[in-house]
């Protein structure tokens, strides 16, 4: 380029030149941002199409939609990957939004390139009947073939969760704050599900007797009489697994295991103080504690001492989980003119049987027959396996399916998963809050108890502590003409007046935290507070008359350094709801 001798470069020329360059850079940046946003919006549409095609069994259509989805996320990733975006991340205030969009684009691109094809392959395998039992036999070889891919998907989602965890969505501008917050929630749910799936694929062969036979105690918990882990451990059975073939042996009830003249195990001092000695002397009370592994170990000891039956682990479900399975199996003839379906199995097992059969032994016989009928339907592959697996997955997400193994290596893998059921202790930056219920009417009144609960972080304090608020609304749906109900439902009146739903409520603060206040229907209320597993516990007896509502709120303060998103777990009741849910940090 030749510059005229008369040309003088002034400050104005420099400013104009730099402005033009700046506008050019901003223009490129804006164009790339617009391209990325359009691609991400299109990706959302195609992601929904992929899901719809899979549900419809149209895997060719799902593959076509997946190809479009991968093209969209790849375009978004390419548009946000470059020097301009890397530099943009360091611009004060605006930079955090640039970095968030860049991370989201990368996470979604990885999800479609790595995770989506594996999910599609698994769905195709389910549709093809790969996981369908044949006369009680599961194909462990096919499960082992798919395990590396399942683990790869789980590792990818785990990385995505860590990457997104570094974004403080509360500090982003609208609409990025909501979009990133929603994505973090979705990825966290996917992380939990993929981790549980990978653990299941890893452990399934050995736990189903690939190397040596295994025996498991099956407990069907009854949420009509609540216990902290879900319900009274009523109907029991022993399952035998050998090289993938599962059979049902002994069946019975808690009454067949009781009574015991003394404790079968020595309870830890904090458990004994919190829940009393009957956990170790009465099978019906083993799960007063919300710590399922502890309850399972007591069950194993009781079974061995009383019946000389030795098991390698304990698995637990409840009738709402059975209803999920029956969405796939279809109707099951239980005999005596009773046909069970996904829509009626819960009221039949938790309420109607206690009204129509007025003999405890006959009730147990009916429950045992139903358990075997459902077991046979599942293990013979009856019905739609995809619906059955989906129903079981939903129940697992609600903490209605729990599993404990007496092998330390297996139990260490189960701990922390949705099926592990362990009561958390130290948890780093993650505050864990619990709300657990134990019935005190000695009836089946909790069938009429509905509750919805939540936790939110309301303030970020010095040194990374948070103020939390846990709230639960209890409603009694007990009919006013409760006198017509049998005493199997209402109880005898010895522990609570007939028609009253009575239970003990416990809030667990995070490890090292404290419960600083408790209100009942807006009025301050005192509560007993002790430690269990290093966590402060507030104990409150509650009683509801027919049609009454009670709202309980607990104000909780975490320990310093617990400034991350929290996790809230609770006793699963009659209302299906996700459990182990994440709540957003106030320090975000």
Place of tokens 């990368």: 106
Q: How far apart are CA 410 and CA 564, in angstroms?
A: 29
Query: Is 547 within 8 Å of 448 (Cβ atoms)?
Result: no
DSSP assignment of 163-187, as one string? HHHT--GGGSPTTHHHHHHHHHHHH
Confidence class for position 98, pLDDT limits 50, 70, 90: low
Which residues are paired to 476 by β-bridges?
449
pLDDT, the chain, mean: 86
Q: Of all helices (H) and strands (E), which one includes residue 271?
A: helix 269-275
> Which residue carries 């509360």 as its tokens?
170
Sketch the domain layout of the chain as residue ranges.
13-207, 214-402, 425-583
Q: Which two tokens stand for residue 111?
A: 């999800």
Q: Which residues contact 275 (CB under 8 A, 6 or more apart)?
A: 267, 285, 288, 289
Pick the CATH number of 425-583 from 2.30.30, 2.60.40, 3.40.1000, 3.90.930: 2.60.40
Decide whether 214-402 matches 425-583 in CATH topology: no
d(CA 240, CA 377): 17
Instruction: Quote the tokens at residue 264.
Output: 């079968």
Long-range contacts of 94-101 (CB under 8 A, 24+ apart): 96/167, 96/168, 96/171, 96/172, 97/172, 97/173, 97/176, 99/167, 100/167, 100/169, 100/172, 100/176, 100/180, 101/33, 101/36, 101/176
Q: Which residues contact 412 (CB under 8 A, 6 or more apart)?
A: none
pLDDT tens profile 10-39: 555 444 443 443 443 344 344 344 444 554
User: How many Cβ atoms from other residues are within 10 Å of residue 240's Cβ?
Assistant: 17
317's tokens:
């479900």
Q: 214-402 adopts what CATH topology?
A: Aminopeptidase (3.40.630)
CA angle 188, 190, 195 (to 5 degrees): 95
What digits encode the pLDDT tens for the residues 45-71?
A: 645 664 565 556 565 665 675 567 567
Q: Is 296 helix (H, G, I), strand (E, B) or coil?
A: helix
Cα–Cα distance for residue pair 250/270, rounded to 1 Å: 34
pLDDT digits (tens, 9 = 90+) for 219-234: 999 999 999 999 999 8
The dihedral sign for the CA sequence 136, 139, 140, 146: negative
pLDDT of 267 reads 98
Using one digit for the tens of pLDDT, what is the confidence trace for 152-189? Answer: 888 887 887 787 777 776 666 555 566 667 767 777 77
Please list the alpha-helical segments (H only) found in 1-139: 11-55, 59-79, 83-88, 94-110, 116-127
Cα–Cα nearest to 218, from 19, 401, 443: 401
Span of 113-117, 145-149, 555-559 with lowest mean pLDDT:
113-117
d(CA 66, CA 72): 10
pLDDT tens digits along 508-554: 999 999 999 999 999 999 877 899 999 999 999 999 999 999 999 99
Q: Is 96 helix (H, G, I), strand (E, B) or coil?
A: helix
Q: Find the mean pLDDT for residues 89-104.
A: 64
pLDDT higher than threshold 80 for residue 205:
yes
| Calpha distance 110→119 (Å, rounded) | 13
pLDDT of res. 70: 65
Number of Cβ atoms within 10 Å of the Cβ of 485: 20
Q: Is 438 helix (H, G, I), strand (E, B) or coil?
A: strand
Report residue 109's pLDDT band, with 50, 70 and 90 as the boundaries: confident
Coarse DSSP helix, strand, coil percentages of the chain, rounded to the nearest 5 percent: 45, 20, 30
Write down the pLDDT at residue 129: 82
Lowest-pLDDT range of 190-204, 250-264, 314-328: 190-204
Q: What are phi and psi of 522, to 5 degrees?
A: 85, -5
Q: What kind and span of H or E run contains 196?
A: helix 176-207
pLDDT category of residue 442 using cuts at 50, 70 and 90: very high
């Amino acid at each position: 380029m030749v510059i005229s001798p008369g040309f003088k470069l002034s400050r104005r020329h420099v400013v104009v030149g730099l402005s033009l360059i700046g506008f050019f850079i901003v223009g490129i940046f804006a164009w790339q941002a617009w391209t990325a946003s359009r691609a991400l919006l299109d990706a959302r549409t195609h992601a929904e199409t992929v899901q719809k095609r899979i549900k419809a069994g149209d895997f060719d259509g799902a593959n076509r939609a997946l190809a479009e989805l991968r093209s969209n996320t790849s375009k978004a990733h390419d548009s946000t990957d470059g020097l301009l975006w890397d530099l943009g991340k360091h611009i004060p205030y605006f930079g955090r939004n640039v970095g968030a969009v860049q991370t989201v684009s990368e996470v979604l691109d990885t999800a479609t390139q790595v995770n989506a094809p594996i999910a599609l392959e698994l769905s195709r395998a389910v549709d093809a009947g790969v996981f369908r039992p044949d006369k009680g036999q599961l194909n462990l070889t096919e499960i082992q073939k798919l395990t590396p891919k399942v683990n790869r998907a789980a590792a990818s989602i785990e990385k995505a969760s860590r990457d997104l965890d570094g974004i403080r969505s509360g500090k982003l501008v609208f609409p990025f704050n909501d979009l990133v917050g929603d994505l973090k929630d979705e990825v966290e749910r996917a992380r939990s599900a993929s981790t549980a799936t990978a653990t299941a694929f890893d452990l399934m062969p050995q736990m189903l007797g690939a190397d040596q036979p295994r025996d498991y105690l099956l407990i069907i918990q009854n949420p009509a009489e609540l216990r902290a882990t879900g319900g009274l451990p009523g109907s029991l059975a022993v399952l035998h697994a050998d090289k993938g073939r599962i059979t049902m042996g002994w069946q019975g009830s808690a009454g067949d295991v009781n009574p015991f003249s003394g404790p079968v195990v020595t309870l830890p001092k904090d458990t004994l103080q919190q829940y009393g000695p009957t956990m170790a002397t009465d099978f019906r009370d083993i799960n007063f504690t919300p710590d399922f592994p502890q309850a399972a170990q007591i069950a194993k000891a009781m079974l061995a001492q009383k019946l000389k039956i030795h098991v390698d682990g304990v698995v637990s479900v409840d009738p709402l989980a059975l209803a999920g399975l029956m969405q796939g199996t279809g109707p099951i003839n239980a005999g005596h003119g009773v046909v069970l379906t996904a829509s009626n199995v819960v009221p039949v097992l938790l309420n109607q049987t206690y009204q129509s059969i007025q003999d405890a032994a006959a009730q147990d016989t009916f429950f045992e027959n139903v358990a075997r009928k459902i077991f046979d339907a599942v293990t013979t592959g009856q019905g739609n396996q995809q619906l059955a697996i989906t129903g079981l997955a939903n129940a697992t997400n609600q903490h209605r399916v729990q599993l404990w193994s007496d092998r330390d290596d297996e139990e260490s893998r189960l701990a922390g998963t949705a099926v592990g059921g362990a009561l958390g202790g130290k948890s780093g930056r993650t505050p864990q809050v619990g709300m657990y219920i134990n019935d005190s009417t000695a009836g089946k009144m909790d069938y009429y108890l509905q509750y919805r609960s939540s936790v939110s972080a309301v303030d970020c304090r010095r040194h990374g502590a948070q103020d939390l608020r846990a709230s639960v609304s209890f409603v009694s749906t007990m009919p006013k003409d409760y006198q017509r109900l049998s005493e199997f439902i209402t109880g005898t009146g010895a522990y609570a007046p007939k028609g009253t739903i009575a239970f003990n409520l416990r809030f667990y603060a995070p490890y090292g935290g404290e419960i600083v206040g408790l209100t009942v229907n807006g009025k301050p209320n005192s509560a007993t507070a002790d430690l269990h597993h290093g966590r402060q516990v507030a104990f409150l007896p509650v009683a509801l008359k027919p049609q009454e509502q009670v709202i309980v709120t607990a104000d909780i303060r975490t320990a310093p350094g617990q400034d991350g998103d929290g996790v809230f777990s609770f006793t699963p009741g009659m209302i299906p709801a996700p459990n182990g849910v994440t709540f957003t940090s106030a320090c975000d």
